[in-house]
Amino acid sequence: MLYATCGCNDNSSSFNIKSHGGRETHIDNKLGSAMANPYIVLAATVAAGLDGIKRNLNIESGVNKAPGQQKDFAVPVKLDEALEALSEDQVICSTLGEPFVQYFIAMKKFEIETQELDDERNKCLEYFI
C-alpha cells in the first residue's frame, strides 16, 4: 500500500515543502505519475490545497510525523482504482468540471481495454514471466 505523506524539508515525503527562508520555498509533489499530464496534476494539487484552506485543515499535524507514521491517505496504485477514486472526489470533479472528468475517465478506460487486448503487450510479457 502506498500512502500520501507530507513533510517539510524531508525528501522521503511524497509531498515535500522545501523552505530555506525567503523566496526559496518550493514544493515537490511526487504523487503524480511521470506519464500524467502535468497541467492536470497542478490543477488537482491547487484544488486540494484550496480545499484544505477552506476547511481550515491543519497541515502541522501531518508534517510533524515521520513519513512511515503517516497512514491516513492511501494512494491508488492501479489505474482502474485511481479512476474510481477520481470519480468519487467531489473537490477535483468540481474543479476540473464534470464533463472533463467523465471524458478523461472514459478515455483512460478505453486505454485500459485496448492495452489488455494488445498482442504486442502479451508477447512482451512472455519474455518477462
Nearest CA among 14, 123, 128, 110 for reference residue 63: 14
Condensed to tens digits (0 to 9), the pLDDT of residues 76-102 reads: 888 899 999 999 999 999 999 999 999
Cell of 118: 494488445
Residues in the chain: 129
Between CA 107 and CA 22 the distance in angstroms is 43
Which positions ≥6 away from 25 have C-beta within 8 Å?
A: 17, 18, 19
- Where b means 16+ CB within 10 Å and e means fewer, 27-49 reads eeeebeeeeeeeeeeeebeebbe
pLDDT for position 63? 58
Between CA 98 and CA 125 the distance in angstroms is 36
What's the whole-number mean pLDDT along residues 64-71? 61
End-to-end, the C-alpha distance of the chain in Å comes to 23
In this prediction the pTM is 0.74
Condensed to tens digits (0 to 9), the pLDDT of residues 20-35 reads: 777 788 888 888 888 8
Between CA 78 and CA 86 the distance in angstroms is 12
Which positions ≥6 away from 85 have C-beta within 8 Å?
A: 76
Q: pLDDT band at 122, cuts 50/70/90?
A: confident
